[in-house]
Amino acid sequence: MTFACVFPGQGSQSLGMLSALSDAHPQVREAFEEASDALGSDLWNLAQNGPEEDLNRTEMTQPAMLAAGVAAWRVWQASGGRTPAILAGHSLGEYTALVCAGALAFGNTVQLVAERGRLMQGAVAPGEGAMAAILGLDDGQVMDICARAAQGGVVEAVNFNSPGQVVIAGDTAAVDRAVALAAEVGARRSVKLPVSVPSHCRLMEDAAARLADRLADTAVTAPGIPVIHNVDASAHDAPDDIRAALAAQLHRPVRWVDSVRHMAAQGVSAIVELGPGRVLTGLNKRIDKGLGVICVQDPESLRQALDLVGA
């Protein structure tokens, strides 16, 4: 069976994440200790004990989720899991995929994503940016709503997560107008997301430029496993192309539907999500009902995933 492994981004974190997997596999704590040493902060204690508001701070969420994804990958490898044909990650998860593919060094990337979080948080004043999930409309309808709601401000479709689920981001007032318009045209549901940073829209352009400067000083090598990038649903080998994709990702949409369909077109018949939560597993099933999908976050789901794709 040809399969892919994918890694979640912000929003999948929770207090106590990977605790059961840690009890059975020392690789979890080892990965968190390595990340904590690089960051100078105890990420395992934060992930297990909080406080939750600190775990949900962007500059802490990102290194914690990176550590969680790398930990699950190391458990997968130590448990005899086969090497996937493709890796990918949603937003922040793309960094995890690149670490697991050998393109980025783990410790350096912990520091890099913490800086990414600080740049994102500083790009828009508190309360001035927002995101919302629009459910039950097609992509074109959502983009039309954003165009009508902008009124000189910024609101854009930024996460094409699955058919009928698109996340928008931008100025708070413009996002609120778009949510109201979505209801008028028949959206099944529109949900403001509990975030303070309007990710993947052009309000992040200045942050992306600063991140590009940081990436220019970051060692990048060709990945040992192809990694599908969010911005163009394609794999890149050249270090400068990888740097450019990571910088562009900050202010351009996450094309998750295209990414999953690209993997399927490459012969992938199952996708294993490595890390806390089941967000991507749900999206992947909606994108392609023929895919085998599973999330590895505890010993039982690990066993099921190994059975699904073969150890």
CA-based nearest residue to 87, from 108, 70, 75, 65: 70
Structure tokens at 234: 């394609």
CA-based nearest residue to 299, from 82, 24, 48: 24
Angle 180-185-189 from CA coordinates, rounded to 5°: 60
The strands making up 155-162's β-sheet, listed across from edge to edge, are 155-162, 165-171, 129-135, 189-192
The residue behind tokens 């949603």 is 90
**In the chain, at which residue ranges do the beta strands (DSSP E only) sit?**
3-7, 86-89, 129-135, 155-162, 165-171, 189-192, 227-228, 270-274, 292-296
Q: Please tell me the number of Cα atoms within 13 Å of 146 on its side-chain side.
A: 23
d(CA 131, CA 180): 13
d(CA 149, CA 91): 25
| Residue positions annotated with a catalytic role | 91, 200
